[in-house]
Structure 1
Amino acid sequence: MDGNQPAVVSALRAIGCSVLYTHQLKNCFDILVGYRGRTFLMEIKDPAQPLSKRQLTPGEEEFRCTWRGSPYHVVLTPDDAIRIVTTP
């Protein structure tokens, strides 16, 4: 879990999102977010980490490339996450 994950989840919940933690699933995304009838897959990366630590792991990249459902988003900040769910 990235250090900024609690802040991202808290910000999403504050605007009324449902958030399900999935980070414990291997080669998956960190959170599943529901907002106003839409679903979002989000991988959270910590902007305080070096760029090399913010890259998707090989398993995360494979999942992202092969997923045929909702878009897979990489977020760094609470603002990134809120912008994704509130953009029509």
Structure 2
Amino acid sequence: MSTFRTASRVDGNQSTIVASLRRIGCTVLLTHQLKNCFDILVGYRGRTHLMEIKDPAQPPSKRKLTPGEEEFRRTWQGSPYHVVETIDQAISIVTAP
């Protein structure tokens, strides 16, 4: 079994969230192609944030974490894992004291 998906779905709002984070000085690594993983890894002011992006335009059933994402979130012992739907949520997370 490969650690990479052959096709990954990118939420429609991912590019605007990533662009907005980069505009305020964040470094952003796209990880959405990794199987059962979060979508982006964000570095800002010496801190690292794991973010799963969900599109608020999708119905709630499409915004749920997949079983693999939920397992990763539940077992991850490192940096906080955040699920975001908007630019404001993402920026609030990285700029929080």
Residue of structure 1 in register with 2:17 after alignment:
8
Q: Bigger relative contact order, structure 1 or 2, given CA contacts below 8 A and separation 6+?
A: 1
Q: Classify the secondary structure of the residue corresponding to 1:23.
A: coil
Q: Percentage identity across aligned positions? A: 78
User: How far apart, in 1, do the equivalents of 2:15 and 2:89 lie?
Assistant: 14
Residue of structure 1 in register with 2:56 after alignment:
47
State the shift of 1:83 in Å. Answer: 0.3
Equivalent residue runs for 1:55-70 within 5 Å = 55-70=64-79
Q: Classify the secondary structure of the residue corresponding to 1:41.
A: strand
Gaps of 5+ in 1: none
Q: Classify the secondary structure of the residue corresponding to 2:91.
A: helix
- Tell me which amino acid in the other structure corresponds to 1:16: G
- Tell me which amino acid in the other structure corresponds to 1:85: V
- Tell me which amino acid in the other structure corresponds to 2:21: L
Residue of structure 1 in register with 2:37 after alignment:
28
Q: How big is the alpha-carbon RMSD for the aligned residues of Structure 1 and Structure 2?
A: 0.3
User: How far apart, in 1, do the equivalents of 2:46 and 2:71 lie?
Assistant: 27
Gaps of 5+ in 2: 1-9
User: How far apart, in 2, do the equivalents of 1:12 and 1:69 lie?
Assistant: 21
State the shift of 1:36 in Å. Answer: 0.2
Residue of structure 2 in register with 1:85 after alignment:
94
- Tell me which amino acid in the other structure corresponds to 2:30: Y
State the aligned residue count.
88
Give the TM-score, by structure 2 length: 0.90
